[in-house]
Amino acid sequence: MDILLQLFLSFAAVGLVCVGGGYASMPLIQAEVIDRHGWLTMNEFVDIFTLSQMTPGPIGINAATFVGSKVAGIPGSIAATLGFVFPSVFIVLFLGYLYYKYGNVSAIRGILNGLRPAVVALIGSAGLNFILLAFWNKEKLPVDLAKTDLVAVVIFVLAWFAQKKKTGTITLLFSSGVAGLVLYLVTGLHP
């Protein structure tokens, strides 16, 4: 398959299922460009993520542009960026229409409330992977990243519980400490 088509389809897949913005898209982009296709190393990906944060614009789109550029030059940048944005345009138009028409329906409110903890977990998982890489700065981390997914599940549960109970800042800080303790106990890592 042509590399430009692969870039477009890979980033369209990420754009299709990405919920929660640029930080939440990072684990999905990482899975595509490192794990699935092997287009980048983890260190290259972290560099691209850093550049994506420093440049103006949405982080996910910037990351798609930089990955496309690294893989296939300017045509790759265009293909990856269009792939990342393409599903979102149609999804946002459709959801905007539904929200405008049915936004006050309790089922829609329930769906939106249920997505919030999932977004927090995705962002927490991405942040955890980058924290581990920042402390150890190695291509191969000293722990299996599948164990960090357990921490993402803990973050999800804590975020869901905090949302349900309408807890305050102190409880959320305590919950973050619990998530850190779980990370330490599961992985045995400490900086």
Residue 159 token pair: 């975020």
In this predicted model, what pLDDT tens digit does every residue of 7-34 receive, in sequence order? 999 999 998 887 666 777 888 888 889 8
CA distances from 176 to 41, 86, 113 (A): 30, 35, 20
Contact between residue 67 and residue 48 where contact means Cβ atoms under 8 Å apart? yes
pLDDT of residue 12: 93
C-alpha distances in angstroms, 83 versus 60, 73, 94?
11, 15, 18
Tokens representing 100? 């405008």
Nearest by Cα to 40 from 81, 79, 72: 72
Query: For 81-97, what is each residue's pLDDT tens digit?
Result: 999 999 888 888 988 88
DSSP strand E in 78-191: where? none
Q: Report how far residue 132's alpha carbon sits from residue 190's, in angstroms, rounded to the nearest whole number.
A: 9
Confidence of residue 42 (pLDDT cuts 50, 70, 90): confident
Q: Which residues contact 139 (CB under 8 A, 6 or more apart)?
A: 41, 42, 43
Give CA–CA dist 183/154, Å, rounded: 9
CB atoms within 10 A of CB 26: 27
**Stated pTM of the model:** 0.57
